[in-house]
Structure 1
Amino acid sequence: MARIGALASLEDGLVFLWAMEKIYLDAWSIVYAALPEASSSQVLEAQSQVDLTAKAITDLSYNWSSSNPDFAQFVKELGDLVDDYFTPVMAGHSLAGRSAREALAYAEAIWARVVELEAEFWPDEGEEDTLRA
């Protein structure tokens, strides 16, 4: 399928927003879970050295993770809206001028494009070193 350009409707924008936020929630939840606990010696040492990068990663990962109940609830509510919107499609009905098959294919294309953009955003391992050269 062709790359997703401009979104065709507000509903397409909702799918795009949910996909972005869901990816952030999943990715940052993994990062946050992998961080040392606040009582560990690593964290205390990092704090004593005023490691601003570690603090920023901890704060960012908390804000965008399932450990933050407000963000987790926001993503759930977006997902519920998308599910409600696609309920007729799942029953085989057309939606916004698209057949059920076309609507699902378009939503899947939006999801795939968001995943592609997110993956391309992050550098490959060691890429930062080659960019500095």
Structure 2
Amino acid sequence: MAPERIMGQPYSVSCDVWSLGVTLMEVAQGRFPFHAQNSNPLGPIELLSLILECEPKLEDNPEESIYWSDSFRNFLGYCLKKAPEDRPGPQQILKHPWCVGQSRFTVNMEKFVRKVWGIKS
């Protein structure tokens, strides 16, 4: 949930931009970006407070040779600005260098899914 919705402000497309940033970060790290420092699950109020107060951080994972590009980090920071008026709109997102760079790649989804799930051809 975007910070402005937690604060009772109305929905706008900037809420979806926030959600895009959170979703990309969750997929990249394999966990929700707002989490407790220990293994205890967060209660709803604690989670909402974290969203309002904390800046999620995309961390490299050197043990698995995972290093995130500056462009990707910048894109996430762009989407996860706390103030909705500071977040980009859809047209601005599509012009961000990270998004533009992604359009150059061709992905074979069947091959990707097989690799992720360990399914042999």
TM-score calculated relative to the size of structure 2: 0.27
- Larger helix percent: 1
Mark the structure with the bigger radius of gyration.
1
